[in-house]
Amino acid sequence: MERHFHRDLAALKNDLLRMGALGQRMVQTAVKGLTDRDGALFAEVRRDEEQMNSLHMSLDERCFTLIALQQPAASDLRFLLAALKSISELERVGDQSINVVKSGEVLLREAPLKPLIDIPRMADLTQRMVHDSLRSFVDKDVELARSVLVTDDEVDALRDQVFRELLTYMLGDPTSITRALHLILISRSLERIADHATNIAEDVIFMAAGTDVRHRAVDQLVEAAREAGEAAR
Amino acid sequence: MERHFHRDLAALKNDLLRMGALGQRMVQTAVKGLTDRDGALFAEVRRDEEQMNSLHMSLDERCFTLIALQQPAASDLRFLLAALKSISELERVGDQSINVVKSGEVLLREAPLKPLIDIPRMADLTQRMVHDSLRSFVDKDVELARSVLVTDDEVDALRDQVFRELLTYMLGDPTSITRALHLILISRSLERIADHATNIAEDVIFMAAGTDVRHRAVDQLVEAAREAGEAAR
């Protein structure tokens, strides 16, 4: 049972990374569709979204089964609960990529407003954050998790810059308003993707700190209760 | 142990409702601050946010402890995992209320753009959704959960209406652009709060359907494995 559990856990980690890679690809493809003005790329993101949703369901179920069947030790349980959260963050990365696509589809029907510079930069940072947050989670790499939090500040700064610049366009030229609005919405979606990656990274930091400090009492209690239970049988 | 577990579960449900009520109040107070142009109400929301975060941490920990110590049966485990999700949805209701406050604070520094009608309506619907989703979760009331999904469509329709109306303001009068933009952002935050309530309600429906259909195999597997384990001891 024990060996199976560790094999299952390793497989789960692998699939989490795969789900993360899918999320990354969705962000990149959505923004590439925008910069290349290529609607076929938007269709690709919509196909990826279906895969994302089915990964979400199957990984969710696998976490449940592992917790229910294996009754894992406190630290493994904490990992599995964090995995459940990460899975749902990744599913939302997919949702937000679809929001980028929706605004992108509106924008492709009109002439380009301006060459896009900050939005592709936001997308680059954001997809890297998705990658690094998952990697830090699987490897329990607190340093990498911290770097995700730092990049999130960069993304927030870009979001503000995009907002100010597009506001200037809107104020100067009313015909730009609809397009500028959709670009602002896209930058907000990218910011939210960055937030989802940040949530995953925060859990990594929390788990590392928690095992040391906050949760030590609970973890000890759990082990003691189990030992007592086994002794009584 | 069994009796303690059910008492703990009842207390958890109670606290989930309390957390939901706090979320409701944050939404209402944030939008009331906007309509009454009363910054003191915004300060109240910021204070509530601290309470929300501390409830989030403590309920999260209690779910973990219940799972770890009590090794609940499959259906209770499913409930506790859904509770963990709901707790994190509610924390985000708090985050979004703070986003409403941030845009509200900008708006209070300028003259009102127009009498607000749709945004308070969105807030009313949204806070009711937060209430009903929690109530449906605690009572396992699938019908109530379904009604939350219906209201979400109303909220989405209002969001589109708000967008169109404010776009018209922006196109007609460039001095309205900044204020209109912040009102659009507020409507998006309210929409996201409605989405969080919808996520909770979807879990209620999924749990009800899942126990019947999708998860029956897994649940049976869990029980069989446990019985086998106990027989072997």
pLDDT tens-digit readout, B119-130: 999 999 999 999
Q: Quick one: pLDDT at residue B157?
A: 97
Q: How many domains does one find in chain B?
A: 1
Q: Tell me what ipTM this predicted complex has.
A: 0.84
Q: Quick one: pLDDT at residue B223?
A: 61
Q: What is the mean pLDDT of residues B210-219?
A: 50
Burial of A120 (0-12, 13-18, 19+ CB in 10 A): middle
pLDDT above 60 (res B213):
no
The verdict on B231 touching A (C-beta cutoff 8 Å) is no
pLDDT above 50 (res B147):
yes
The verdict on B177 touching A (C-beta cutoff 8 Å) is yes
Beta carbons of A74 and B68 less than 8 Å apart: yes
Q: Quick one: pLDDT at residue A80?
A: 96
When scoring B5, B181, B202 by the number of chain A Cβ atoms within 10 A, the one with the most, hence best to mutate, is B181
Q: Quick one: pLDDT at residue A229?
A: 56
pLDDT band at B220 (very low <50, low <70, confident <90, very high): low
The verdict on A98 touching B (C-beta cutoff 8 Å) is no
- State the alpha helices, DSSP H only, in chain A: 2-35, 39-70, 74-108, 118-139, 142-172, 177-212, 216-232
Q: Quick one: pLDDT at residue B208?
A: 84
Buried b / exposed e across B104-119, counting CB within 10 Å, b at 16+? beebeeeeebeebebb
Given a cut of 70, the residues of chain A with pLDDT beneath it are: 1-2, 210-233
Q: Let me know the angle formed at the C-alpha of A117 by A111 and A123, rounded to the nearest 5 degrees.
A: 105
C-alpha span between B175 and B105 (Å, rounded): 18
Helix (H, G, I), strand (E, B) or coil at B2: helix
pLDDT above 80 (res B21):
yes
Its domain, for residue B169, covers 2-232
Residues of chain A with C-beta less than 8 angstroms from the C-beta of B171: 174, 177
When scoring B4, B59, B69, B200 by the number of chain A Cβ atoms within 10 A, the one with the most, hence best to mutate, is B69
pLDDT band at B215 (very low <50, low <70, confident <90, very high): very low
Find the CATH number of the domain harbouring A32.
1.20.58.220
Q: Quick one: pLDDT at residue A215?
A: 41
pLDDT tens-digit readout, A157-201: 999 999 999 999 999 999 999 999 999 999 999 999 999 999 999
Q: What is the mean pLDDT of residues B196-218?
A: 74
CA–CA min distance A225, chain B (Å): 7
Q: Quick one: pLDDT at residue B229?
A: 56
Buried b / exposed e across A185-224, counting CB within 10 Å, b at 16+? bbbbbbbbbbbbbbbbbbbbbbbeebeeeebeebbeebee
* SS3 per residue for A65-126: HHHHHHCCCHHHHHHHHHHHHHHHHHHHHHHHHHHHHHHHHHHHCCCCCCCCCHHHHHHHHH
pTM for the full predicted model: 0.88
